[in-house]
Amino acid sequence: MLRMADIIREFHDEYYASVDFRVWQNDLACDIYRKLSAHTFSDKLQEVPKVTALCEAMSNKNYRGLTIESRMIHGYNNSGVSFDYMGKTSKKELGDMAIISIVTVDRRIFLLKTAFIQNKDSKTNDWGIDEKQIFLLKNFPTFTGERGMLKSQTFTFLNRSGTLGNYGLFLPNGDMTFLTAQNVFCSQHSNSRISFDSIRNEASGCYSRRTLRGIQMCNLNKRCCDFNNYIDCRYCNSLDTFAFDGQYPFFGGYTYALDIYEVVRELTYFNLGELSCTLYGNNINSDLLNCTGMILAAAFGYNIGEGYFNRDNRQGFNHSGDEINMSVILNHLELKGKHIK
């Protein structure tokens, strides 16, 4: 079995420290900007076209062992799940978009992260926030699926990182800012609106704290053993010390990304979303893993089983029209395992 230290070292050498990979990231960001710019001068809100354009720009992208695909699950555009809100049953969609990030070695899952995203558009630099939607994405109360693949199934997500529920807020200039539902909730004004200025002010403090944390936690041995308390430390015994410039691939739980460039970089460093599976199939959040598997199957026909991501067994898929309406982005890295003897 490839050791954790080798996986991190291989990613660092082949991707994180690579100028070629940074050029690829920059080109991807430029592609997204070009797609979004086609929807910036309309008098009407362009939320659905912008989500579609974003997904189109992130489809069929490849860099060595990394691939990004996107697919739309077409179905009902009303409620996806029901949950208890302030003592009453409420129904809301789980999100407009799901980003699923998977790192595998010989198809065996090293880690899997999921991020649900609610997209909002605005003709100004502020957005109205629905109180029930943000309650769902911030707290993830136990919920039951209303339609399609999740129908009549009840889920409880741990969301230990606080990065499972997020917002993707489109700016009038064709950009997008990304932040967790927790940060949206805290940055709201009294009229249940959030402005880009308030987001930027909150993010500046977050960036400062992250830089200090990176200096204090540059020992990768300790960082691995603190990996949300999920890692068996026998895999960490011989790790080298890396600083990673204060930003850790795989280990990060990004809470703010102020523009598309940041979104692309943290996505492709596998720092967006909540972990449900890590270290060769160690299931750490069963309900989230099961829900993610259903979304993958509905969108792409791929399946997760016994710690493996079965890309080779692609099945035909059809939508009955009874599914939840969701755009799905699959971000997958297959490491070659050059350290395997």
Q: pLDDT for 54-73, tens place per residue?
A: 999 999 999 999 999 999 88
Burial of 292 (0-12, 13-18, 19+ CB in 10 A): buried
Q: What is the pLDDT of residues 292-301, one digit of tens each?
A: 999 998 888 8
Residues sharing a CB contact under 8 Å with residue 147, sequence separation 6 or more, in sequence order? 75, 76, 79, 80, 322, 323, 324
Cβ–Cβ < 8 Å for 330, 68: yes
Q: Residue 269 and residue 266: Cα distance in Å, rounded?
A: 5
> At residue 112, what is the residue type?
L
Q: What is the pLDDT of residues 170-214, one digit of tens each?
A: 998 889 999 999 999 988 888 889 999 988 888 776 654 444 343
CA 90 to chain centre: 25
Question: pTM for the full model?
Answer: 0.86
Domain map of the chain by residue range? 4-335
Cβ–Cβ < 8 Å for 115, 285: no
Closest residue by Cα to residue 136 from 86, 97, 184, 83: 83
Greatest mean pLDDT among 31-40, 135-144, 253-262: 135-144
Q: Residue 4 and residue 282: Cα distance in Å, rounded?
A: 13
Q: What pLDDT, on a 0 to 100 scale, did the predictor assign at position 241?
A: 37
CA 8 to chain centre: 20
Residues sharing a CB contact under 8 Å with residue 212, sequence separation 6 or more, in sequence order? none
Confidence category of residue 155, pLDDT binned at 50, 70, 90: very high
Q: Residue 69 and residue 142: Cα distance in Å, rounded?
A: 30
